[in-house]
Amino acid sequence: MNIFRLVGDLSHLLAILLLLWKIWKTRSCAGVSGKSQIMFGLVYITRYLDLFTNFISIYNTTMKAIFIAVAIATIYLIYFKFKATYDSNHDTFRMEFLIVPVGGLAFLVNHDFTALEILWTFSIYLESVAILPQLFMISKTGEAETITSHYLFALGSYRALYIVNWVYRYYFEGFFDLIAIVAGCVQTILYCDFFYLYVTKVMHGKKLSLPA
C-alpha cells in the first residue's frame, strides 16, 4: 500500500459517501444518473466476488464491503425511496451499449479464462465507462449541482491517483497490470473535460454549467 493508493481509495470512498449523503439530505436524486449508479453497483459486485474466495487484509475486506453496501443503498434511494425525484427523462444513455461490448471484450482480453477472472476484467472495463451516463446527463441538461460536481471531482481524483500508484508500483515493486492500467487511463481521460470545468467554475464558487 502506498500513499497514492490510500489517498485514492479515501477519495473514492468520499465520492460515493458524498453522493449518498446528498441524496439523503436533499431527499432528491435530481441530476444524478441512476444508470451510472447501476453500472457502478455492477462493477463492485462483479469485482469483489473474491471476498468469498481469498482474504487480503482487514482494510481490503472492509472497503470492498462498504463500496458494495453504499452502491446498493444509492441505487435503492434512486429507484425506490426517492424515485419521484429521479430525472429519468434526462438519463437516457443506453446501458446495453456499454455493458454488451465491455462484456465481449472481457471474454476476449483477460489474464485467465476463468469465471472469476473474466468477471474481474469485466468490472475493470465497465468501471472505465460507467460514468458516461452521468456525464451525458450533464451535457443534456447543461448543468450540474455543486455537490454532484464535487462527487465527480472526488471520483476523478481517485482515478488520477491510481495512475500515480501504478507508476509507483512499477518503479518500486516491478509490478504492473496492463488491463487495469489501460482501462484506468481511459477512465481518467473521460474526466479531463470535467476537471477543466470544475477548476475554472466550481472552484471559483460558480455552479457548473456548460456553454450554450
3-state secondary structure of 144: strand
* Rounded Cα gap, residues 54 and 47, in angstroms: 13
Q: What is the DSSP letter of 112?
A: S
Query: Is residue 60 packed enough to be buried (19+ CB in 10 Å), middle (13-18) or exposed (0-12)?
Result: middle
122: β partners:
none
Q: What is the DSSP letter of 202?
A: G
The binding track of 105-124 with respect to other proteins, each residue x by CB under 8 A or -, is ---------------x----
Among 84, 173, 204, 211, binds other proteins (CB under 8 A): 173
Q: How far is the CB of 99 from other proteins (least distance, A)?
A: 21
- 1 touches 175 (CB < 8 A): no
Among 5, 90, 140, 201, binds other proteins (CB under 8 A): 5
Q: What angle do CA 13, 36, 46 make, to 5 degrees?
A: 70
Among 4, 136, 162, 191, binds other proteins (CB under 8 A): 162
Is there binding between residue 89 and other proteins (CB under 8 A)?
A: no
Is there binding between residue 58 and other proteins (CB under 8 A)?
A: no
Among 17, 63, 95, 190, binds other proteins (CB under 8 A): 63
Q: Which residues in this chain contact other proteins in the complex, by CB under 8 A?
A: 1, 5, 9, 12, 50, 54, 56-57, 60, 63-64, 67, 120, 162, 165, 169, 173, 175, 177, 179-180
